[in-house]
Amino acid sequence: MSDKRDVQILRDLAKRYLDICITPEQDERRELWRKHNSLIHTRPLIFVSPGTCWNEFPESKLECEDPLFRTQEMIIKRWFTQQEIGDDFVFDPWLGEWAVYKFPAVGRWGFELNHIQSDMKGGAYKINPPIKDLDDAKRFLRPHHEIDEAATDAKMTRLRDAVGDIITVKSVRAPYYRSYRGDISTDLAQLRGLEELMTDMYDNPDWLHEVLSFMSTAIREMLDAGEQAGDWRLSDSANQAMPYSLELPDPGAHDNPVPMSQLWGYMASQETTLVSPEMFDEFMFQYQIPLMEKYGLVAYGCCEDLTRKIGVLRQLKNLRRIAVTPVADIRKSAEVIGADYVISWRPNPALMVCCGWDEARIRNIIREGLDVFDGLHLDITLKDTETLENEPWRLQKWVRIVREEIDAYMSTAHHAATR
Protein backbone atom coordinates (compact mmCIF):
# COMPACT_ATOMS: atom_id res chain seq x y z
CA MET A 1 0.00 0.00 0.00
CA SER A 2 1.34 3.41 -0.91
CA ASP A 3 1.87 6.28 1.48
CA LYS A 4 -0.80 8.15 -0.47
CA ARG A 5 -3.29 5.38 0.29
CA ASP A 6 -2.44 5.51 4.01
CA VAL A 7 -3.01 9.26 4.03
CA GLN A 8 -6.41 8.88 2.37
CA ILE A 9 -7.48 6.28 4.93
CA LEU A 10 -6.42 8.58 7.77
CA ARG A 11 -8.16 11.59 6.25
CA ASP A 12 -11.44 9.70 5.94
CA LEU A 13 -11.17 8.54 9.56
CA ALA A 14 -10.32 12.04 10.81
CA LYS A 15 -13.41 13.50 9.13
CA ARG A 16 -15.65 10.85 10.70
CA TYR A 17 -14.06 11.39 14.10
CA LEU A 18 -14.48 15.17 13.93
CA ASP A 19 -18.18 14.67 13.21
CA ILE A 20 -18.46 12.88 16.58
CA CYS A 21 -16.51 15.57 18.42
CA ILE A 22 -18.73 18.47 17.38
CA THR A 23 -22.08 16.97 18.41
CA PRO A 24 -24.05 18.80 21.16
CA GLU A 25 -23.89 15.63 23.23
CA GLN A 26 -20.18 16.23 23.88
CA ASP A 27 -20.90 19.62 25.46
CA GLU A 28 -23.58 18.04 27.63
CA ARG A 29 -21.11 15.41 28.82
CA ARG A 30 -18.45 18.02 29.50
CA GLU A 31 -20.84 19.96 31.72
CA LEU A 32 -21.76 16.81 33.62
CA TRP A 33 -18.10 15.99 34.28
CA ARG A 34 -17.31 19.59 35.27
CA LYS A 35 -20.01 19.53 37.93
CA HIS A 36 -19.33 15.97 39.03
CA ASN A 37 -15.59 16.53 39.46
CA SER A 38 -16.32 19.77 41.33
CA LEU A 39 -18.46 17.94 43.93
CA ILE A 40 -21.77 19.18 42.56
CA HIS A 41 -24.32 16.37 42.54
CA THR A 42 -25.17 14.84 39.18
CA ARG A 43 -26.39 11.43 38.22
CA PRO A 44 -23.66 8.78 38.59
CA LEU A 45 -21.52 8.89 35.44
CA ILE A 46 -20.33 5.87 33.46
CA PHE A 47 -16.79 5.44 32.15
CA VAL A 48 -15.46 2.47 30.20
CA SER A 49 -11.68 2.47 30.01
CA PRO A 50 -10.73 3.30 26.38
CA GLY A 51 -9.36 0.49 24.25
CA THR A 52 -10.89 -2.24 26.42
CA CYS A 53 -10.23 -5.63 24.75
CA TRP A 54 -9.45 -3.81 21.53
CA ASN A 55 -8.13 -6.94 19.82
CA GLU A 56 -11.60 -8.54 20.12
CA PHE A 57 -13.27 -5.80 18.05
CA PRO A 58 -13.55 -6.07 14.24
CA GLU A 59 -12.19 -2.51 14.02
CA SER A 60 -8.83 -3.74 15.35
CA LYS A 61 -7.96 -4.93 11.84
CA LEU A 62 -5.86 -2.03 10.56
CA GLU A 63 -5.15 -1.03 6.97
CA CYS A 64 -2.35 1.54 7.09
CA GLU A 65 1.16 0.20 6.59
CA ASP A 66 3.23 3.17 7.71
CA PRO A 67 3.78 2.82 11.50
CA LEU A 68 3.03 6.49 12.21
CA PHE A 69 -0.25 6.50 10.28
CA ARG A 70 -1.12 3.03 11.55
CA THR A 71 -0.89 4.22 15.16
CA GLN A 72 -3.27 7.11 14.49
CA GLU A 73 -5.61 4.79 12.58
CA MET A 74 -5.77 2.56 15.66
CA ILE A 75 -6.41 5.51 17.99
CA ILE A 76 -9.27 6.89 15.90
CA LYS A 77 -10.88 3.47 15.42
CA ARG A 78 -10.74 2.97 19.17
CA TRP A 79 -12.68 6.20 19.54
CA PHE A 80 -15.29 4.83 17.12
CA THR A 81 -15.77 1.73 19.28
CA GLN A 82 -15.95 3.94 22.36
CA GLN A 83 -18.75 5.93 20.72
CA GLU A 84 -20.65 2.72 20.00
CA ILE A 85 -20.31 1.62 23.63
CA GLY A 86 -22.31 4.68 24.67
CA ASP A 87 -20.77 5.62 28.03
CA ASP A 88 -20.11 9.21 29.18
CA PHE A 89 -16.77 9.50 27.41
CA VAL A 90 -16.00 12.95 25.94
CA PHE A 91 -14.51 13.09 22.45
CA ASP A 92 -12.21 16.07 21.95
CA PRO A 93 -11.54 17.56 18.49
CA TRP A 94 -7.84 16.91 18.13
CA LEU A 95 -5.30 14.12 17.65
CA GLY A 96 -2.18 13.74 19.76
CA GLU A 97 1.21 12.30 18.87
CA TRP A 98 3.94 11.69 21.41
CA ALA A 99 7.21 13.55 21.14
CA VAL A 100 10.39 11.53 20.77
CA TYR A 101 12.09 11.48 24.19
CA LYS A 102 15.73 10.95 24.99
CA PHE A 103 16.51 8.44 27.77
CA PRO A 104 19.66 7.20 29.49
CA ALA A 105 21.48 4.68 27.28
CA VAL A 106 20.87 1.82 29.73
CA GLY A 107 17.24 1.95 30.81
CA ARG A 108 15.19 4.84 32.15
CA TRP A 109 17.00 4.86 35.53
CA GLY A 110 20.28 3.41 34.38
CA PHE A 111 19.06 -0.19 34.64
CA GLU A 112 17.56 -2.61 32.18
CA LEU A 113 14.22 -3.99 33.37
CA ASN A 114 14.29 -7.76 33.06
CA HIS A 115 11.11 -9.81 32.72
CA ILE A 116 10.93 -13.58 32.60
CA GLN A 117 8.02 -14.05 30.23
CA SER A 118 5.57 -16.94 30.22
CA ASP A 119 5.63 -19.21 27.17
CA MET A 120 1.88 -18.62 26.79
CA LYS A 121 0.88 -15.86 24.40
CA GLY A 122 -0.35 -12.94 26.47
CA GLY A 123 0.69 -14.74 29.64
CA ALA A 124 2.15 -13.34 32.84
CA TYR A 125 5.76 -12.45 33.49
CA LYS A 126 8.03 -12.56 36.52
CA ILE A 127 10.22 -9.61 37.45
CA ASN A 128 13.96 -10.27 37.56
CA PRO A 129 15.00 -7.11 39.43
CA PRO A 130 18.40 -5.61 38.55
CA ILE A 131 18.94 -4.15 42.05
CA LYS A 132 19.85 -7.32 43.91
CA ASP A 133 22.31 -5.85 46.41
CA LEU A 134 22.04 -2.53 48.19
CA ASP A 135 25.22 -1.29 46.52
CA ASP A 136 23.56 -1.74 43.11
CA ALA A 137 21.62 1.45 43.85
CA LYS A 138 24.83 3.39 43.29
CA ARG A 139 24.28 2.75 39.57
CA PHE A 140 21.13 4.89 39.49
CA LEU A 141 21.25 7.55 36.79
CA ARG A 142 19.31 10.78 37.07
CA PRO A 143 17.03 11.03 34.01
CA HIS A 144 16.20 14.35 32.39
CA HIS A 145 13.32 15.82 30.44
CA GLU A 146 14.84 15.97 26.97
CA ILE A 147 13.12 15.80 23.60
CA ASP A 148 14.64 14.89 20.25
CA GLU A 149 13.32 17.95 18.44
CA ALA A 150 14.36 16.90 14.95
CA ALA A 151 12.69 13.49 15.18
CA THR A 152 9.61 15.00 16.81
CA ASP A 153 9.29 17.71 14.15
CA ALA A 154 9.61 15.11 11.39
CA LYS A 155 6.72 13.07 12.82
CA MET A 156 4.52 16.10 13.41
CA THR A 157 5.14 17.49 9.92
CA ARG A 158 4.07 14.24 8.30
CA LEU A 159 0.90 14.00 10.38
CA ARG A 160 -0.04 17.64 9.92
CA ASP A 161 0.56 17.43 6.20
CA ALA A 162 -1.74 14.41 6.11
CA VAL A 163 -4.71 15.59 8.19
CA GLY A 164 -3.85 18.98 9.70
CA ASP A 165 -6.29 20.76 7.43
CA ILE A 166 -9.10 18.57 8.83
CA ILE A 167 -8.32 18.30 12.52
CA THR A 168 -5.80 19.80 14.95
CA VAL A 169 -2.75 17.58 15.47
CA LYS A 170 -1.01 18.17 18.79
CA SER A 171 2.47 17.22 19.90
CA VAL A 172 2.41 15.58 23.35
CA ARG A 173 5.56 16.96 24.97
CA ALA A 174 4.89 16.80 28.71
CA PRO A 175 7.56 14.96 30.73
CA TYR A 176 7.51 11.22 30.11
CA TYR A 177 7.86 10.44 33.83
CA ARG A 178 4.27 11.10 34.89
CA SER A 179 1.26 9.01 35.97
CA TYR A 180 2.44 5.36 36.13
CA ARG A 181 5.88 6.26 34.83
CA GLY A 182 6.28 8.92 37.50
CA ASP A 183 4.57 7.46 40.57
CA ILE A 184 7.86 5.98 41.92
CA SER A 185 6.01 2.83 42.97
CA THR A 186 5.75 1.17 39.56
CA ASP A 187 9.40 1.56 38.55
CA LEU A 188 10.86 0.88 41.98
CA ALA A 189 9.01 -2.43 42.34
CA GLN A 190 10.43 -3.55 39.00
CA LEU A 191 13.92 -2.31 39.80
CA ARG A 192 14.10 -3.84 43.29
CA GLY A 193 11.42 -6.55 43.24
CA LEU A 194 8.04 -6.46 44.96
CA GLU A 195 8.91 -8.74 47.86
CA GLU A 196 12.29 -7.07 48.32
CA LEU A 197 10.66 -3.63 48.35
CA MET A 198 8.36 -4.64 51.19
CA THR A 199 11.06 -6.36 53.26
CA ASP A 200 13.36 -3.35 52.78
CA MET A 201 10.85 -1.33 54.79
CA TYR A 202 11.84 -3.48 57.78
CA ASP A 203 15.38 -4.55 57.01
CA ASN A 204 16.85 -1.55 55.15
CA PRO A 205 14.70 1.49 55.92
CA ASP A 206 17.49 4.08 55.68
CA TRP A 207 18.61 2.71 52.31
CA LEU A 208 15.06 2.69 51.02
CA HIS A 209 14.44 6.26 52.14
CA GLU A 210 17.57 7.33 50.27
CA VAL A 211 16.39 5.61 47.07
CA LEU A 212 12.87 7.04 47.40
CA SER A 213 14.25 10.52 47.97
CA PHE A 214 16.47 10.24 44.91
CA MET A 215 13.63 9.10 42.66
CA SER A 216 11.15 11.65 44.00
CA THR A 217 13.62 14.51 43.58
CA ALA A 218 14.56 13.40 40.06
CA ILE A 219 10.93 13.16 38.95
CA ARG A 220 10.14 16.54 40.52
CA GLU A 221 13.05 18.10 38.63
CA MET A 222 11.74 16.62 35.36
CA LEU A 223 8.24 17.97 36.00
CA ASP A 224 9.77 21.38 36.70
CA ALA A 225 11.92 21.14 33.58
CA GLY A 226 8.80 20.47 31.54
CA GLU A 227 7.24 23.66 32.90
CA GLN A 228 10.38 25.71 32.26
CA ALA A 229 10.55 24.41 28.69
CA GLY A 230 6.87 25.26 28.12
CA ASP A 231 6.03 21.63 27.33
CA TRP A 232 2.84 21.21 29.40
CA ARG A 233 -0.46 21.73 27.57
CA LEU A 234 -4.09 21.75 28.71
CA SER A 235 -4.55 18.45 26.90
CA ASP A 236 -2.01 16.80 29.23
CA SER A 237 -4.45 16.41 32.14
CA ALA A 238 -5.07 12.84 33.34
CA ASN A 239 -7.37 11.47 36.03
CA GLN A 240 -8.44 8.01 34.79
CA ALA A 241 -11.77 9.50 33.73
CA MET A 242 -12.71 12.75 32.02
CA PRO A 243 -10.43 15.62 33.26
CA TYR A 244 -13.03 18.36 33.45
CA SER A 245 -13.90 20.53 36.45
CA LEU A 246 -15.12 24.01 37.25
CA GLU A 247 -11.88 24.89 39.06
CA LEU A 248 -9.51 24.14 36.17
CA PRO A 249 -9.49 25.05 32.48
CA ASP A 250 -10.93 22.47 30.11
CA PRO A 251 -8.54 20.36 28.05
CA GLY A 252 -7.83 22.36 24.92
CA ALA A 253 -6.54 22.08 21.38
CA HIS A 254 -4.12 25.00 21.50
CA ASP A 255 -0.38 24.60 22.02
CA ASN A 256 0.05 27.39 24.56
CA PRO A 257 2.24 26.36 27.52
CA VAL A 258 0.46 26.11 30.88
CA PRO A 259 1.63 25.55 34.47
CA MET A 260 0.88 22.20 36.07
CA SER A 261 -1.40 24.00 38.50
CA GLN A 262 -3.95 24.19 35.66
CA LEU A 263 -3.91 20.43 35.08
CA TRP A 264 -5.24 17.21 36.57
CA GLY A 265 -2.66 14.73 37.80
CA TYR A 266 -2.97 11.04 38.49
CA MET A 267 -0.96 8.73 40.73
CA ALA A 268 -1.23 5.34 42.43
CA SER A 269 0.79 2.76 44.34
CA GLN A 270 -0.57 -0.64 43.46
CA GLU A 271 2.63 -2.26 44.63
CA THR A 272 2.06 -1.24 48.28
CA THR A 273 -1.52 -2.50 48.52
CA LEU A 274 -0.53 -5.05 51.22
CA VAL A 275 1.50 -2.54 53.20
CA SER A 276 0.04 -0.99 56.34
CA PRO A 277 -1.29 2.58 56.13
CA GLU A 278 1.60 3.76 58.30
CA MET A 279 4.27 2.18 56.12
CA PHE A 280 2.50 3.27 52.94
CA ASP A 281 2.62 6.82 54.28
CA GLU A 282 6.27 6.65 55.33
CA PHE A 283 7.72 4.68 52.44
CA MET A 284 5.66 5.93 49.50
CA PHE A 285 3.05 8.62 49.97
CA GLN A 286 5.36 11.19 51.55
CA TYR A 287 7.56 10.94 48.45
CA GLN A 288 4.59 11.21 46.08
CA ILE A 289 3.11 14.31 47.74
CA PRO A 290 5.76 16.74 46.36
CA LEU A 291 4.95 15.44 42.86
CA MET A 292 1.17 15.52 43.15
CA GLU A 293 0.95 18.91 44.83
CA LYS A 294 2.21 20.57 41.64
CA TYR A 295 -1.08 19.74 39.89
CA GLY A 296 -4.31 21.66 40.27
CA LEU A 297 -6.36 18.57 41.14
CA VAL A 298 -5.37 14.93 41.63
CA ALA A 299 -6.94 11.49 41.23
CA TYR A 300 -5.40 8.70 43.30
CA GLY A 301 -5.56 4.95 42.99
CA CYS A 302 -5.77 2.29 40.31
CA CYS A 303 -6.29 -1.37 41.25
CA GLU A 304 -5.08 -1.28 44.86
CA ASP A 305 -7.26 -1.49 47.96
CA LEU A 306 -7.24 1.96 49.56
CA THR A 307 -9.94 1.25 52.15
CA ARG A 308 -7.63 1.65 55.15
CA LYS A 309 -5.54 4.42 53.59
CA ILE A 310 -8.09 7.18 53.03
CA GLY A 311 -6.85 8.96 56.15
CA VAL A 312 -3.34 9.01 54.68
CA LEU A 313 -4.61 10.31 51.33
CA ARG A 314 -6.40 13.20 53.04
CA GLN A 315 -3.01 14.84 53.61
CA LEU A 316 -3.01 15.81 49.94
CA LYS A 317 -4.82 19.14 49.80
CA ASN A 318 -5.58 19.01 46.07
CA LEU A 319 -6.91 15.44 46.11
CA ARG A 320 -10.27 15.21 44.35
CA ARG A 321 -10.86 11.63 43.10
CA ILE A 322 -10.30 8.30 44.90
CA ALA A 323 -10.48 4.84 43.33
CA VAL A 324 -12.63 2.19 45.01
CA THR A 325 -11.59 -1.09 43.42
CA PRO A 326 -12.97 -4.64 43.24
CA VAL A 327 -10.85 -5.66 46.24
CA ALA A 328 -11.90 -2.68 48.39
CA ASP A 329 -14.54 -2.78 51.11
CA ILE A 330 -17.11 -0.59 49.38
CA ARG A 331 -19.21 0.04 52.49
CA LYS A 332 -16.23 1.10 54.57
CA SER A 333 -14.87 3.15 51.65
CA ALA A 334 -18.18 4.98 51.29
CA GLU A 335 -18.17 5.70 55.01
CA VAL A 336 -14.63 7.10 55.20
CA ILE A 337 -14.68 8.99 51.88
CA GLY A 338 -18.15 10.42 52.27
CA ALA A 339 -19.00 13.43 50.13
CA ASP A 340 -15.51 14.95 50.47
CA TYR A 341 -14.19 13.42 47.24
CA VAL A 342 -15.39 11.92 43.98
CA ILE A 343 -15.61 8.14 44.23
CA SER A 344 -14.43 6.24 41.17
CA TRP A 345 -16.06 2.86 41.80
CA ARG A 346 -14.62 -0.01 39.75
CA PRO A 347 -16.85 -3.12 40.06
CA ASN A 348 -15.11 -6.41 39.32
CA PRO A 349 -14.85 -6.74 35.51
CA ALA A 350 -14.80 -10.53 35.80
CA LEU A 351 -18.30 -10.38 37.28
CA MET A 352 -19.41 -7.71 34.83
CA VAL A 353 -18.32 -8.82 31.35
CA CYS A 354 -15.26 -11.10 31.37
CA CYS A 355 -16.51 -14.47 32.64
CA GLY A 356 -19.82 -15.25 31.01
CA TRP A 357 -22.74 -12.88 30.62
CA ASP A 358 -25.21 -12.70 33.49
CA GLU A 359 -27.52 -9.70 33.30
CA ALA A 360 -29.12 -10.44 36.66
CA ARG A 361 -25.72 -10.57 38.33
CA ILE A 362 -24.72 -7.24 36.79
CA ARG A 363 -27.92 -5.57 37.93
CA ASN A 364 -27.59 -6.90 41.47
CA ILE A 365 -24.00 -5.68 41.82
CA ILE A 366 -24.77 -2.24 40.38
CA ARG A 367 -27.87 -1.89 42.57
CA GLU A 368 -25.85 -2.77 45.66
CA GLY A 369 -23.21 -0.20 44.74
CA LEU A 370 -25.76 2.53 44.09
CA ASP A 371 -27.32 1.77 47.46
CA VAL A 372 -23.96 1.81 49.27
CA PHE A 373 -22.81 5.06 47.65
CA ASP A 374 -26.23 6.70 47.91
CA GLY A 375 -25.99 10.50 47.92
CA LEU A 376 -22.23 10.56 47.25
CA HIS A 377 -20.28 11.80 44.22
CA LEU A 378 -20.08 8.58 42.22
CA ASP A 379 -18.91 7.47 38.82
CA ILE A 380 -18.82 3.84 37.73
CA THR A 381 -15.74 2.72 35.83
CA LEU A 382 -15.25 -0.51 33.91
CA LYS A 383 -11.53 -1.15 33.57
CA ASP A 384 -8.92 -3.92 33.60
CA THR A 385 -11.17 -5.97 31.36
CA GLU A 386 -8.91 -8.74 30.09
CA THR A 387 -11.44 -10.37 27.78
CA LEU A 388 -14.98 -10.13 26.49
CA GLU A 389 -14.78 -13.76 25.38
CA ASN A 390 -14.89 -12.41 21.81
CA GLU A 391 -18.30 -10.86 22.38
CA PRO A 392 -17.62 -7.12 22.16
CA TRP A 393 -21.37 -6.39 22.25
CA ARG A 394 -21.13 -6.98 26.01
CA LEU A 395 -19.72 -3.51 26.61
CA GLN A 396 -22.61 -1.74 24.92
CA LYS A 397 -25.13 -3.92 26.76
CA TRP A 398 -23.31 -3.37 30.05
CA VAL A 399 -23.56 0.40 29.64
CA ARG A 400 -27.26 0.11 28.78
CA ILE A 401 -27.93 -1.99 31.89
CA VAL A 402 -25.99 0.37 34.14
CA ARG A 403 -27.88 3.35 32.70
CA GLU A 404 -31.18 1.63 33.40
CA GLU A 405 -30.17 0.95 36.99
CA ILE A 406 -28.98 4.53 37.44
CA ASP A 407 -32.26 5.86 36.03
CA ALA A 408 -34.22 3.64 38.42
CA TYR A 409 -32.02 4.72 41.33
CA MET A 410 -32.38 8.41 40.45
CA SER A 411 -36.13 8.09 40.14
CA THR A 412 -36.39 6.38 43.51
CA ALA A 413 -34.02 8.85 45.14
CA HIS A 414 -35.99 11.79 43.74
CA HIS A 415 -39.25 10.23 44.90
CA ALA A 416 -37.83 9.72 48.40
CA ALA A 417 -36.52 13.30 48.52
CA THR A 418 -39.88 14.79 47.57
CA ARG A 419 -42.11 12.75 49.86
Confirm whether 365 is domain-assigned. no
pLDDT level of residue 415 (50, 70, 90 thresholds)? very low
Q: Assess if residue 271 is contained within a domain.
A: yes
Residue 220, domain extent: 99-296
At residue 123, the pLDDT reads: 80
Q: What mean pLDDT comes out for the span 52-63?
A: 93
Res 1: pLDDT: 45
Predicted TM-score of the model (pTM)? 0.95
Helix (H, G, I), strand (E, B) or coil at 415: helix
- Please tell me the predicted confidence (pLDDT) of residue 66: 96
Q: What is the pLDDT of residues 335-386, one digit of tens each?
A: 999 999 999 999 999 999 999 999 999 999 999 999 999 999 999 999 999 9
- The alpha-helical segments, DSSP class H, found in 60-148 are 67-85
What pLDDT score does 418 carry? 40
| Confidence band of 116 (pLDDT split at 50, 70, 90) | confident
Average pLDDT over residues 270-282: 97
DSSP 368-385: HHHHHTTTS-EEEEE---
Q: Does residue 362 lie within any of the structural domains?
A: no
Residue at 209 is within a domain: yes
For residue 130, being part of any structural domain is answered with yes
Q: Count of domains in the chain?
A: 1
* Strand pairing class (45-48; 378-382): parallel
Q: DSSP class of residue 246?
A: S
Terminal-residue alpha carbon distance, the chain? 66
- Domain assignment present for residue 68? The answer is no
Residues 6+ away with beta carbon under 8 Å from 310: 322, 333, 336, 337
- What pLDDT shows up at residue 311? 97
Given this model, what pLDDT does residue 108 score? Answer: 83
| Segment 32-49, tens digit of pLDDT | 999 999 999 999 999 999
pLDDT band at 145 (very low <50, low <70, confident <90, very high): very high
pLDDT in tens, 78-91: 999 999 999 999 99
Q: Read off the DSSP letter of residue 175.
A: -
Q: Tell me, yes or no, whether 179 lies in a domain.
A: yes
| pLDDT at position 106 | 83
Q: pLDDT class for 283, splitting at 50, 70, 90?
A: very high
Residue 34, in any domain of the structure: no
pLDDT above 60: residue 417: no
- Residue 329 near residue 335 (C-beta atoms within 8 A): no
Mean pLDDT (the chain) is 94
Dihedral angle sign, alpha carbons of residues 182, 301, 362, 27: negative
